[in-house]
C-alpha cells in the first residue's frame, strides 16, 4: 500500500479541518522534496524565519523556472504584479508608496483613528442579530465586518460588494495550490481574467478620485504625497486589487478561527468576557495557533542554497509552511496548546522580513475588537457543528460557515 505524497495530503480538502498532525509529520523532514519539479517544503520555525530574511530567496514570479506553476503565469496580459510578487527595489518602492497612505511615518493616525469606527461597525452587525437563536459567524459577522472596513479605508462603495465578490472568489481560488488537482476549480486563467476585471472596476473609482480626492487610500495612492512620488496608474490598480483582497480574505479567517478556538476553549471565552483587554494576547496566540495564512507558496531561490544538508537548486519553488513553524516544538513549549498566557508568542502568523503582512496592525485591531464584542454580546454561545465546514483553500484556511447557537444577543 502506498500513501499519497504528504504534500498532496496536506492540500487535499479532507485534511482542511485539522492539518496539524500532517504538519507534525512534515516537520520530520524539514526540507521536503517529494516530486521532481515539485516545491521544496520548509516547515521548521527557524528555517522558515531564516529564509524569510534570506536575500537569495525571491518573491518575483519571473525568477521561477517551473512553468507549471500558476503563480509564474505571465501577467503581461493583465495587471503588473503587486508588490507581494516583486523583489527589491521595486517591491520596496511600491510598498513605501502604499504605506505612505496607510501608516507611519506619513499617516501615523490612519489606523489608530479608525478604532471608534471599528467598534461602531461591530456594534451595528451584532445589533442586527438581535433575537437570533442561531447565527453563522462567517456570513453574518466575520465576513461583512472586514469587508466594510476595507471598503471604507480604500474608498470602495460598500454596497458594491456582491459585484466585486464575483471577481475576488476566483482570484482567491487561484492562490490555492491544491486547486491544481481539482478539475472543477477555477483555473489560473479564470483568476487572471477576474483580476483584470476587478482592476477595471477599480479603475473607474480611481478616475473619480483623481478628479475628486477624498480621505481614502485610493485618493492618496493616486496623489502620491510621499517622497517616492506617485505610482503609475497600472501600479495603483494592482496595489488596490491586492489591498482589497488581502484586506478582508485573511481577516475573515482570523476572526472565525478565533471564535471557533474560543468556543473550543470556553475558559478563555469566559475570561475575555470579563476582561476585553485579554483580546490582545488572544489574537497574538491565535496568529500562532491558527494562522489565517497557512503557507507561503511563492518563493524561489535565485541560486543554489544549502539547508540542513540539502541543496535546493537555483530556480526551485520553495513553500514556507508558516502554520507548521508556529507549532514547532523546537521553538514553542507545548506548541499544540492554545495558551494566550504564554510569555513568548513570537509567531510567524504575519510572516517576517520585507514581505511581512502589510495590513497587520489593522487585522490585529479588527480581530481584537471583533472577538471582545462577540464574547461580550453572544449569550451562551454553543458550536452547532464541530468541526465546521471549511473553505476549500489550503493557503487561506478557515471555516466556510461557523454555526453557533445562542440564547440571545445582549445589548
Partner 1 sequence: MPAEQFHEWLRREGRIVVVGASLAGLRAAETLRAEGFTGSLTMIGDEPYEPYDRPPLSKAVLLGMSAPDRTDLPRRREIDATWRLGVAATGLDLAAHRVRLADGDEVPYDRLLIATGVRARPWPREEEAQLDGVFTLRTRDDAVRLHRRLKAGPRRVFVIGAGFTGSEIASACRHQGIAVTVAERADAPLVGALGGVIGSVAAELHRDNGVDLRTGVMVTGLEGDSVGRVRAAHLSDGSVVDTDVVVVSLGATRNTEWLADSGLGAGPRGIACDAGCRAFDFRGIVTDDVYVAGDVARSPHALFGYQFLSLEHWGNAVAQAEVAAHNMISASADRRPHLWVPAFWSAQFGVNIKSVGVPTMGEEIMITQGSLAERRFVGVYGYRGRVIAAVSFDNTRWLEFYEGQIERGAPFPVEYPTMDRRPEGRKPVPADFPDPSLPTHGATVTLSGYSPADRRLVFTPARH
Partner 2 sequence: MRLVVDLNRCQGYAQCAFLAPEVFTMHGEESLVYSPWAGDEHREKAARAVAACPVQAITADGLADPADAPAGAGRVASDAR
Contact residues for partner 1 (CB under 8 A)? 50, 53-56, 58, 87-89, 92, 105, 302-303, 352-354
The contacts of residue 43 (CB under 8 Å, 6+ apart) are: 23, 26, 27, 30, 32, 321, 324, 325, 328
Give the sheet arrangement for strand 317-320, strand by strand: 31-32, 40-42, 317-320, 296-301, 57-58
User: What is the closest distance, in whole angstroms, from the C-beta atom of residue 367 to partner 2 in the complex?
Assistant: 11
| Identified binder of partner 2 from the candidate list 31, 73, 122, 149, rule CB under 8 A | 122
Q: What's the gap between Cα 259 and its chain centre? A: 17
**Nearest Cα residue to 288 out of 53, 48, 99, 84:** 48
Residue placing its CB nearer to partner 2 in the complex, 70 or 92: 92
What's the rounded Cα separation, in Å, for the pair 309 and 311? Answer: 7
Cell numbers at residue 186, please?
477555477
What's the rounded Cα separation, in Å, for the pair 296 and 59? Answer: 10
> Does residue 130 belong to the site contacting partner 2 (CB under 8 A)?
no
Which of partner 1, partner 2, none does residue 382 bind (CB under 5 to 8 Å by kind)? none
Beta bridge partners of 408: 379
What's the rounded Cα separation, in Å, for the pair 235 and 245? Answer: 16
**Is the Cβ–Cβ distance between 127 and 387 less than 8 Å?**
no
User: What is the closest distance, in whole angstroms, from the C-beta atom of residue 354 to partner 1 in the complex?
Assistant: 5
User: What is the closest distance, in whole angstroms, from the C-beta atom of residue 306 to partner 1 in the complex?
Assistant: 11
Stretch that binds partner 2, among 141-149, 188-196, 254-262, 268-276 (CB under 8 A): 268-276
Q: Which of residues 324-353 bind partner 2 (CB under 8 A)?
A: 344-346, 350, 352
Residues 222, 228, 231, 232, CA torsion sign: positive
Residue placing its CB nearer to partner 1 in the complex, 159 or 343: 343
What's the rounded Cα separation, in Å, for the pair 144 and 125? Answer: 8
User: What is the closest distance, in whole angstroms, from the C-beta atom of residue 222 to partner 1 in the complex?
Assistant: 24
What's the rounded Cα separation, in Å, for the pair 289 and 187? Answer: 31
3-class SS of residue 76: coil
3-class SS of residue 102: coil
User: What is the closest distance, in whole angstroms, from the C-beta atom of residue 272 to partner 2 in the complex?
Assistant: 10
Stretch that binds partner 2, among 136-144, 239-247, 275-283, 401-409 (CB under 8 A): 275-283
Which of partner 2, partner 1, none does residue 115 bind (CB under 5 to 8 Å by kind)? partner 2
Q: Which of residues 358-387 bind partner 2 (CB under 8 A)?
A: 360-361, 364-365, 368-369, 372-373, 376
Which of partner 2, partner 1, none does residue 180 bind (CB under 5 to 8 Å by kind)? none
User: What is the closest distance, in whole angstroms, from the C-beta atom of residue 347 to partner 2 in the complex?
Assistant: 8
What's the rounded Cα separation, in Å, for the pair 103 and 88? Answer: 20
Residue placing its CB nearer to partner 1 in the complex, 203 or 354: 354
- Contact residues: partner 2, CB under 8 A: 96, 103-105, 108-109, 111-112, 115-116, 118-120, 122-123, 274-277, 279-281, 284, 344-346, 350, 352, 356, 360-361, 364-365, 368-369, 372-373, 376
Amino acid at each position: 500500500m502506498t500513501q499519497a505524497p504528504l504534500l498532496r495530503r496536506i492540500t487535499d480538502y479532507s485534511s482542511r479541518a485539522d492539518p496539524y498532525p500532517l504538519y507534525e509529520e512534515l516537520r520530520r523532514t524539514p526540507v521536503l522534496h517529494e516530486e521532481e519539479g515539485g516545491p521544496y517544503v520548509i516547515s521548521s520555525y527557524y528555517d522558515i524565519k531564516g529564509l524569510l530574511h534570506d536575500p537569495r530567496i525571491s518573491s518575483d514570479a519571473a525568477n521561477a523556472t517551473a512553468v507549471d506553476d500558476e503563480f509564474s503565469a505571465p501577467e503581461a496580459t493583465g495587471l503588473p504584479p503587486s508588490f507581494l510578487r516583486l523583489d527589491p527595489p521595486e517591491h520596496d518602492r511600491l510598498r513605501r508608496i502604499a504605506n505612505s497612505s496607510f501608516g507611519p511615518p506619513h499617516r501615523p493616525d490612519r489606523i489608530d483613528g479608525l478604532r471608534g469606527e471599528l467598534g461602531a461597525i461591530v456594534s451595528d452587525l451584532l445589533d442586527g442579530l438581535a433575537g437570533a437563536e442561531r447565527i453563522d459567524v462567517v456570513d453574518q459577522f466575520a465576513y461583512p465586518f472586514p469587508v466594510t472596513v476595507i471598503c471604507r479605508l480604500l474608498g470602495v462603495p460598500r454596497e458594491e460588494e456582491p459585484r466585486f465578490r464575483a471577481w475576488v472568489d476566483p482570484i482567491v481560488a487561484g492562490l490555492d495550490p491544491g486547486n491544481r488537482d481539482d478539475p472543477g476549480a477555477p483555473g489560473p486563467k479564470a483568476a487572471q481574467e477576474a483580476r483584470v476585471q476587478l482592476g477595471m472596476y477599480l479603475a473607474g473609482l480611481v478616475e473619480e478620485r483623481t478628479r475628486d480626492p477624498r480621505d481614502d487610500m485610493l485618493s492618496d495612492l493616486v496623489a502620491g504625497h510621499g517622497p517616492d512620488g506617485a505610482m503609475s496608474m497600472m501600479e495603483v490598480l494592482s496595489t488596490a486589487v491586492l489591498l482589497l483582497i488581502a484586506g478582508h480574505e485573511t481577516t475573515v479567517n482570523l476572526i472565525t478561527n478565533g471564535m471557533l478556538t474560543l468556543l473550543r476553549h470556553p475558559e478563555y471565552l469566559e475570561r475575555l468576557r470579563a476582561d476585553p483587554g485579554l483580546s490582545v494576547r488572544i489574537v497574538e496566540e491565535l496568529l500562532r495557533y491558527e494562522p489565517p495564512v497557512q503557507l507561503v507558496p511563492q518563493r524561489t531561490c535565485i541560486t543554489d542554497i544549502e539547508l540542513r544538508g540539502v541543496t535546493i537548486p537555483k530556480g526551485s519553488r520553495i513553500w514556507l509552511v508558516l502554520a507548521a513553524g508556529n507549532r514547532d516544538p523546537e521553538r514553542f513549549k507545548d506548541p499544540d496548546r492554545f495558551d494566550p498566557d504564554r510569555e513568548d508568542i513570537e509567531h510567524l502568523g504575519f510572516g517576517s522580513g520585507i514581505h511581512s503582512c502589510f495590513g497587520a496592525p489593522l487585522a490585529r485591531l479588527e480581530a481584537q475588537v471583533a472577538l471582545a464584542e462577540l464574547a461580550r454580546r453572544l449569550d451562551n454561545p454553543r458550536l452547532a457543528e464541530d468541526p465546521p465546514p471549511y473553505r476549500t483553500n489550503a493557503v487561506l484556511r478557515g471555516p466556510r460557515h461557523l454555526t453557533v447557537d445562542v440564547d440571545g444577543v445582549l445589548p
